[in-house]
Amino acid sequence: MEALFQCSKRKKMKLHLIYINHNGQLSQRVVRVVDIQDEHVTAYCYKRKTGENVPEK
């Protein structure tokens, strides 16, 4: 997954994420990675039109 985040950042490529949110529900987002720090990824979310921190693991 780390390589995919790195590629998104380098090529300014959108990623389609499907994950289980904090309420246990399935959620989808289209994001573009802005920064990678330690074990967190900062990505621009096209749905919310804001930056979000995404745990890498």
Q: Which two tokens stand for residue 54?
A: 């995404």
Which residues are registered as beta bridge partners of 2? Answer: none
Q: Which of 26, 25, 30 is nearest to 8 (CA)?
A: 30
pTM of this prediction exceeds 0.85: no
Q: What is the full per-residue pLDDT of the chain (57 aa) written as tens digits?
A: 889 999 999 999 999 999 998 999 999 999 999 999 888 899 999 988 877 776 665
Residue-by-residue DSSP string for 1-57: -HHHHHHHHHHT-EEEEEEE-TTS-EEEEEEEEEEEETTEEEEEETTTTEEEEEE--
